[in-house]
Amino acid sequence: MADVLMEKIISLAKRRGFIFQGSEIYGGLAGTWDYGPMGVALKNNIKNVWWKTWVDSRSDVHGVDAAIIMHPRVWKTSGHVTGFNDPLVECKNCHSRFRADQIGWTNSESPLSGIVCPECAKEDWTDVKNFNMMFKSSIGTVEDSASAIYLRPETAGGIFTNYKQVLDAMHPAIPFGIAQIGKAFRNEIAPRDFIFRVREFEQMELEWFTHENEWEKWFEHWRENMWNFIDTVGIDRDKTHELEVPKEDLAHYSKRTIDFEFDYPFGRKELYGLAYRTDFDLKGHMEASGVDLQYFDQESGERFIPHVVEPSLGLDRTVLAVLLSAYGEDDAGGETRIVLRLKPTVAPVQVAVLPLMKKGGLAEKAQETAKALSTHMIARYDESGSIGKRYRRQDEIGTPWCVTVDFDTLEDGTVTVRDRDTMKQERIAVDELPTYFSQKLTLGA
Ligand code: ATP
């Protein structure tokens, strides 16, 4: 049953231009996926919601867009060069490779006894080896150890290294945040579950710099903001759960972490993380670079290294959770209708304008209407296939409203607006459409 739903989502994503296998015409490249026309629009809308609510609408958060390739010392300081390892094990019989912890191995001391290979059911393992997940490349024309660089495994590194520059340029008073959206790369041993675990993905991360005394208050603040974001983009709240990460499982830098988990068809797994990272990062970068990263509080005269609360959100996992939350099948006049009940704010097409037929000036009128609406929202003109087929297609990509231009439009200036969820139709004057939709589209709709 679970697999069936994933199959349906993957097939819809491909059929309707959301997500394609990366390098598909060459047989695909494992752990990479490409976003098509609908996927990139959905992703951009999600990013916009995040940026608008977490950056643009607040005067205490500043955005950055750092280079993906950073000085390798950044990743030595952060602990990624030595510590960003997954336990790799190989089946000697069928040569399948697994992350040992994902097939039931728990104790770093014990061998893999009693666990059989999920592929061939034999029990014949290599030793568990530490495998560093960072992608390595080299910079410049000479390839030697001095030229080795990494593709960033998380966007946070580019925030910590720009903390001082933002401080000097913007003079923010503490507490304040620095936010970034961008690509991250991890050489996952076993990429799987569509866009859930991939080797190249996007993150939306925010580092909140605060006085140590106040971290708990801000932890709650960002926890609430994460829930608001989950609601705004249309992730099913009932399928989302907080997991207080037990002390013994916390990352070495963290004193408290909450994982936000989602009930995917393949199990309850991580969607986002919210971590209190203490002063670990700034302290480390200050020691390693020799640059003073302390904050000077003019009011109290205190000089200190800020502590950090970090909400970290994976964009691809957001897309997957949004698609899973929106997917539905219902009965439309005796036929099964596939529908994505996306929030209008994130829908790749927010209104489709359809001429009833191409003839008699209807196409021109519909094109003109789409163009006028496109200054207010994502509006698309669609003329191919019967009107019924077009409604189905728009339902499948989650278009909340279809506007149909017919012969009455030419007479009295009204159109039919069809609502995706109720399938009800109402007549509205073309001139009133911008106001009608902008009321419905206010953020959070
Ligand atoms: P997991 O335990 O699932 O590997 P993680 O705990 O390593 O995840 P973090 O390092 O906390 O993940 O990364 C922050 C966020 O980035 C995650 O909550 C997730 O949304 C996203 N993310 C991490 N790894 C991947 C991946 N391989 N593919 C897609 N998204 C990812």
CA 30-35-38 angle, 5° bins: 150
- Same domain for 169 and 235? yes
243 and 184 in a common domain: yes
Instruction: Provide the pLDDT for residue 86.
Output: 86
Which CATH number is 422's domain given?
3.40.50.800
Residues 243 and 378 occupy one common structural domain: no
Radius of gyration of the chain (CA): 25
Q: What is the pLDDT of residue 201?
A: 98
pLDDT at 110: 65
Does 117 map to a domain? Answer: yes
Predicted pLDDT of residue 2: 65
Which residue has the least CA distance to atom 14 on ligand 1? 312
pLDDT higher than threshold 90 for residue 168: yes
What local confidence, expressed as pLDDT, does residue 109 receive?
Answer: 62
Q: Which CATH number belongs to the domain containing residue 289 in this structure?
A: 3.30.930.10
In a domain, 331, yes or no: no
**DSSP states of 55-93:** IIT-TTEEE----SB--HHHHHHTTHHHH-EEEEEEBTT
Mean pLDDT of the chain: 94
Please check whether residue 339 lies inside any domain of the structure: no
Q: Which of 68, 102, 132 is the last residue in one of the domains?
A: 132
Q: Which atom of ligand 1 is the closest one to the Cα of 312?
A: 14
Q: Determine, yes or no, domain membership for 119.
A: yes
Residue 444 has pLDDT above 60, yes or no: no
Out of 132, 153, 171, pick the residue that ends a domain. Answer: 132
165 and 124, same structural domain?
no
Same domain, 44 and 174: yes
Mark whether 92 and 215 lie in a shared domain.
no
Q: How far is the CA of 272 from the centre of ligand 1 (A)?
A: 7
The pick from 233, 312, 313, 320 for probing ligand 1's pocket by mutation, whose C-beta has the most ligand atoms within 8 angstroms, reads 312
Give the Å distances, CA to CA, from 420 to 41, 316, 347, 353, 431: 19, 25, 12, 13, 21
Number of compact structural domains in the chain: 3
Both 256 and 358 in one domain: the answer is no
* pLDDT in the model for residue 252: 81
Q: How confident is the model at residue 108 (pLDDT cuts 50, 70, 90)?
A: low
What is the rounded distance in angstroms from the CA atom of residue 282 to the CA atom of residue 123?
45
Between residues 112 and 19, the one the model is more confident about: 19
**Which is higher by pLDDT, 350 or 334?**
350
- Asked if the structure places residue 56 within a domain, the reply is yes
pLDDT at residue 1, rounded to an integer: 59
Q: What is the pLDDT of residue 175?
A: 97
**Residue 330 forms part of a structural domain:** no
Q: Which helix (H) or strand (E) holds 330?
A: strand 327-332
The answer, yes or no, to whether residue 3 has pLDDT greater than 90, is: no
Q: How far away, in angstroms, is 316 Cα from ligand 1 center? A: 10
Count of residues in the chain: 445
- Same-domain check for residues 146 and 284: yes
Pocket of ligand 1 (CB under 6 A): 154, 186, 188, 197-198, 201, 203, 270-273, 312, 314, 316-317
Question: Are 436 and 430 within 8 A, CB to CB?
Answer: no
Residues 393-436: tens digit of each pLDDT: 999 999 999 999 999 999 999 999 999 999 999 999 999 999 99
Q: Which atom of ligand 1 is nearest to the CA of 269?
A: 3
175 CA → ligand 1 middle, Å = 26
Q: What average pLDDT score do residues 241-257 get?
A: 93
Per residue in 40-61, pLDDT tens? 999 999 999 999 999 999 999 9
Does 258 share its domain with 377?
no
Res. 146 pLDDT band, cuts 50 70 90: confident
Q: How far is the CA of 314 from the centre of ligand 1 (A)?
A: 7
Based on the domain organization, do 206 and 306 belong to the same domain? Answer: yes
Same domain, 106 and 233: no
Give the Å distance between the CA of 423 and the centre of ligand 1: 38
Residue 306 in domain: yes
Query: Do the domain assignments include residue 334?
Result: no
Residue 378 pLDDT more than 80? yes
Q: Which residue range forms the structural domain that includes residue 101?
A: 85-132
Please write the tens of the pLDDT for every residue from 271-325.
999 999 999 999 999 999 999 999 999 989 999 999 999 999 999 999 999 999 9
Q: What is the model's pLDDT at position 147?
A: 84
Residues 276, 156: one domain?
A: yes
Residue of minimum CA distance from atom 21 in ligand 1: 314
Sign of CA dihedral 308, 154, 257, 53: positive
